[in-house]
Amino acid sequence: MSQSYDAIVIGAGIIGGCTAFELAKKGLRTLNIDKMPAAGQGSTGNSCAIIRVHYSTFDGAAMASEGVHYWKDWENYLEVDDESGFAVYRNVGCIVTKNERNNFLKTVCRNLTELGIEWEDWDADKLCHEIPIYDPGRYSPVRLLSDPAFGQAAKENLAGAIFTPHSGYVSDPQLSAHNVQRATEARGGNFVFNAEVVEIRQAHGRVAGVTLKDGERIDAPVVVNVAGPHSFLINRMAGVEDGMKIKTRALRQEVAHVPAPAGFDFETNGCVTSDGDIGCYYRPEVGNHILVGSEDPDCDELEWADPDDFNRNFTDQWKTQVYRLAQRIPSLGIPNRAKGVVDLYDVSDDWIPIYDKSDLAGFYMAIGTSGNQYKNAPVAGAMMAELIDRSEHGHDHDADPLRFALRHSGQTIDVGFYSRRREINPESSFSVIG
């Protein structure tokens, strides 16, 4: 006999968990299904969990700013106790360097100003005063280590940077997913782990449920694809990919973990930094370390991967990212042994997520989110729950895109911005910055 739920959410990462939590708050009986042994053990657990507000698109900035409110009030938002404790949001602020690739942040600053988001304009001297281990030099264009010009002394300083004080990072992203699991369970939601979906069942022109690898059939009139790097495979199972102008793929990424320079407490006094001038982003990490990720500069080849079979070992990319960081932090020591994370991003064609229904009634998607949407998870969960509720009660989201009211900021965003049928957005950075 099949089990039956009101909604099945495929994935128990931070966005899958928040979607189920918000659906459960609306009274639905939910089930999250995940291939991993525990919540957040996939892309969420390996995220840098950066919470920032700067975006090249207005809707992106509005959503990100809204997300900060949730992270600052995380425990009250969840309204539950967790025996494992709670993930902590560290509000250290974010520096974004100005460079040609981001149009010297003109669009970003306009978005911040229009939304009333606090920001400061820094010149190179201010940057080095605030973070004295930073070198103010301009090193762009970003180069490979094999380029003879790599590492040459800067001939001029950066054009400057901006600083957004209401930004930071979450200390333990996997724990945040566990927190949301406990909150969802307290509302009647269920979770099953080590379980693989192998079929999206249909009946009478709409989704009917899923079948697991062990043969178990679970019925539900609503199925939500939040499967991270596996999302495109789930869409193919459901037969909805042909109806999408924007699609997703799995992209292999490396994040380096290196010690901060001796004599400077980067964990306490450092900031999240988005540094397109050297093609990296970086943030403080526990134990006075630095996490270093790539902002996907044009010279780096993107490595699209099979989500079930990819190289989990470090490559020359790890060394490239660390040496790029050493341009900004000349006192950085280069470890002999590579440490950090190798995992996958779920990336859309324009690096902007898809939060949408599909051409199959009852089948919804919160995908293409990896790398730049962790911060938005609570907002995305609430938005997806509203989209599902309205659509299941007859609203035609394709013809009349939902307008979603952000509960903290008072802004309203057009959910059609995240449509599967949109044209590629030219305002995107086409990188992890989104």
Residues 158-172: tens digit of each pLDDT: 999 999 999 999 989
HEC profile for the chain? Answer: CCEECCEEEECCCHHHHHHHHHHHHCCCCEEEECCCCCCCCCCCCCCCCEECCCCCCHHHHHHHHHHHHHHHCHHHHHCCCCCCCCCCEECCCEEEECCCCCHHHHHHHHHHHHCCCCCEEECHHHHHHHCCCCCCECCCCCCCCCCCCCCCCCCCECCCEEEECCCEEECCHHHHHHHHHHHHHHCCCEEECCCCEEEEEEECCEEEEEEECCCCEEECCCEEECCHHHHHHHHHHHCCHHHCCCCEEEEEEEEEEEECCCCCCHHHHCCEEEECCCCEEEEEECCCEEEEEECCCCCCCCCECECCECCCCCCHHHHHHHHHHHHHCCCCCCCCCCCEEEEEEEEECCCCCEEEECCCECEEEEECCCCCCHHHHHHHHHHHHHHHHHHHCCCCCCCCCCEEECCCCCCEEEHHHHCCCCCCCCCCCCCCCC
Residue 144, in any domain of the structure: yes
Peptide bond just before 132 cis, omega within 30 deg: no
Residue 431, in any domain of the structure: no
Q: Examine the domain organization and report whether 218 and 161 are in the same domain.
A: no
351 pLDDT higher than 60: yes
Q: Examine the domain organization and report whether 71 and 101 are in the same domain.
A: no
Q: Examine the domain organization and report whether 336 and 408 are in the same domain.
A: no
State the pLDDT at residue 32: 98
CA-to-CA distance for 329 and 323, rounded, in angstroms? 9
Query: Residue 113 belongs to a domain with what CATH number?
Result: 3.30.9.10
* Number of structural domains in the chain: 2
Q: Examine the domain organization and report whether 162 and 179 are in the same domain.
A: no
Q: Examine the domain organization and report whether 371 and 302 are in the same domain.
A: no
Q: What is the average pLDDT value for the chain, to the nearest integer?
A: 96
Q: Examine the domain organization and report whether 241 and 356 are in the same domain.
A: yes
Residue 160, in any domain of the structure: yes
Query: How large is the average pLDDT for residues 324-343?
Result: 97
Residue 297, in any domain of the structure: yes
* pLDDT tens string 3-31: 999 999 999 999 999 999 999 999 999 99
State the pLDDT at residue 180: 98
Residue among 366, 399, 411 at smallest CA distance from 7: 366
- The last residue of one of the domains, among 323, 347, 371, is 347
Residue 386, in any domain of the structure: yes
Q: Examine the domain organization and report whether 58 and 102 are in the same domain.
A: no
Q: Examine the domain organization and report whether 184 and 45 are in the same domain.
A: yes
Residue 231, in any domain of the structure: yes
Q: Examine the domain organization and report whether 17 and 51 are in the same domain.
A: yes
* pLDDT tens string 247-262: 999 999 999 999 999 9
What share of the chain has pLDDT > 90, as a percent?
Answer: 95
- The last residue of one of the domains, among 289, 320, 347, is 347
Residue 222, in any domain of the structure: yes
Query: Residue 216 belongs to a domain with what CATH number?
Result: 3.50.50.60
Q: Indicate yes or no: pTM above 0.85.
A: yes
Range of the domain at 110: 91-167+249-347
Two tokens, residue 421: 């049928």
1 pLDDT higher than 60: no
Q: Examine the domain organization and report whether 188 and 69 are in the same domain.
A: yes
Residue 425, in any domain of the structure: no
State the pLDDT at residue 433: 79
421 pLDDT higher than 60: yes
Q: Examine the domain organization and report whether 117 and 261 are in the same domain.
A: yes
Q: Examine the domain organization and report whether 211 and 227 are in the same domain.
A: yes
State the pLDDT at residue 371: 77
* pLDDT tens string 291-312: 999 999 999 999 999 999 999 9
- The last residue of one of the domains, among 291, 319, 347, is 347
